[in-house]
Structure 1
């Protein structure tokens, strides 16, 4: 399991498996957000399977899938609501962790966090947010 801290409230991860959620809970996390659409790849666990495993381990769960559609304010706000709902600290996952990190940063920017700070946190975790810099700045200014 590859958990990459983004800040004190969130870590990003590549695809988690249902049997890894016990370790997520043992590591002190209280919630999980799945940013992967169902059936994106053969053999990946469904959102329903992940939700059941999360519940079995006392973890809050949310599904905010980001597939091939463009990023939108609605999707960013859905991520913000999910982050508020599942609590902190939470693990956010997708296939590689990149979409989760991007949605986390955009949701945090919409909540008024500084774009440079978010970009630095993501870089430290191994994720490049430079393609989203203008969007981060715009959201942070509107937050």
Structure 2
């Protein structure tokens, strides 16, 4: 399991295994967010199995699937209140962690400038500089 910390409130990761959930809870995460659709690719763990393990380990579970390469404004509208209100810290995963990072950046852009967000994403291993125009659009939603 590869954990990429964005800030004190959220870390992201590529696809996790069911066996990783207990470790996620042990590390102190409070909410587990899945941004990957079930059955997106053959062989990925089922979200129902991850959900059951999350609940068995006392984690809040949020299943918010987002289509790869097609993050809509509605997806951001759904993510923003969830991440704001979730018990922290949050651990979010998808295939590579990129979708989670983009959702975080776009929703965070409603309250923070891109120059505050870009280094956090970069430090976690994600170059989201191409999102700046869209982040600027999100700022108008605040």
When the two structures are superposed, what TM-score results if normalisation uses the length of structure 2? 0.93
CA contact (8 A) 1:6 1:12 kept: yes
CA contact (8 A) 1:15 1:94 kept: yes
Instruction: Provide the residue aligned with 2:47 in structure 1.
Output: 47
CA contact (8 A) 2:29 2:90 kept: yes
Instruction: Provide the residue aligned with 1:140 in structure 2.
Output: 139
Q: Does 1:62 align with 2:59?
A: no
Instruction: Provide the residue aligned with 1:128 in structure 2.
Output: 127
Structure 1 segments, 4+ long, off by >3 Å, are none
**1:85, distance to aligned residue in structure 2 (A):** 4.5
Q: Deviation digits for residues 76-125 of structure 1, max 9, x if unmatched?
A: 01112332343210111011111111111111113x12211111100011
CA contact (8 A) 2:68 2:99 kept: no
Give the unaligned 5+ runs of structure 1. none
Q: 1:108 and 1:34 mapped to 2: Cα distance?
A: 18
Give the unaligned 5+ runs of structure 2. none
Q: 2:72 and 2:54 mapped to 1: Cα distance?
A: 27
RMSD of Structure 2 on Structure 1 (CA): 1.4
When the two structures are superposed, what TM-score results if normalisation uses the length of structure 1? 0.92
1:63-82 alignment runs, 5 A limit: 63-68=63-68, 70-82=70-82
Count how many residue pairs are aligned between Structure 1 and Structure 2: 142
Instruction: Provide the residue aligned with 2:7 in structure 1.
Output: 7
Q: Does 1:16 align with 2:32?
A: no
**1:43, distance to aligned residue in structure 2 (A):** 1.3
